[in-house]
Amino acid sequence: MTPPAAGRARRRAKAGPTPIADEVYDELLSRVLSARLGPGARVTIDALGRELEVSQTPIREALHRLEQDGLVVRHHLAGYRVVPRMTREQFENLVELRLLLEPVAAGHAAERPRAEDAAGLAALAERMGGVGHALDMRAYADFSLRDAEFHDAVARAGGNHLVQESLARLHTHIHLFRLANDELITTRAVGEHAAIVEAVRAGDPAAAAAAMHRHIEASADRFRAAFD
């Protein structure tokens, strides 16, 4: 039987703009986030090709993206393996770095709010709110990507490209979302994002920085449960 991901891949490829590699990437990402592909698991191109009924090319493209995301590592003559989950120490270091950078970026975004920036943030927040309570692993994977887009958009609106690039290189959100798939991680984040958007839209730097700080702290508490 053709897996749902493969069927969607073919339908969307025929429809136009979304390449099959994007669908393969989404499928593999959802497996990593759900631990169906656990830490250290081997990812075999031939086996995936047979399972998803696609050629090796989109699988290689998807694996290359996952490698850039820091989720898989390529071993010479041994294919790809999923990287270990972050440790508690790595997690706490990441939270500390986010608290140093992201509230400042949010404050800068509110200092010089542009209508297009606020509209883009609001649109992203609204899309994430659509996840609701019907959370499956594909939706969870999509939420993690939209979360990354949202925080990247805040950093970009802040105007400091070094901050934006530093956060992007860390692939923060994908690594965090590997830790747990609790519904609270998505539903509570929605309201916190809305508070950030409203502060940016209102041109209130102090409120935007505080809203971002509260969001990162609350998010960290939700993910810490994975270590308890």
**Domain 88-227 classification at class level:** mainly alpha
CA dihedral 158, 196, 222, 88 (to 10 degrees): 10
For 146-168, how does the pLDDT look when each residue is reduced to its tens digit (9 = 90+)?
899 999 999 999 999 999 998 88
CATH number 1.10.10.10 is the correct assignment for the domain at 4-82: yes
Name residue, tokens 């990441």.
94
> Residue 105: how many CB atoms within 10 A of its CB?
24
- The pLDDT score that the predictor gives to residue 5 is 46
DSSP-derived pairing of the beta strands 79-82 and 72-75: antiparallel
Name residues of the chain where pLDDT drops below 70. Answer: 1-18, 130-135
Helices (H) and strands (E) in the chain, counts: 11, 3
Residue 182, both tokens: 């609790």
- The pLDDT score that the predictor gives to residue 88 is 95
Domain ranges of the chain: 4-82, 88-227
Residue 33, both tokens: 């986030």
Q: Give 167-201 as a DSSP string.
A: HHHHTHHHHHHTS---HHHHHHHHHHHHHHHHHHH
- Decide: helix, strand or coil at residue 81: strand
- The pLDDT score that the predictor gives to residue 4 is 43
DSSP state of 223: H
- The pLDDT score that the predictor gives to residue 131 is 62
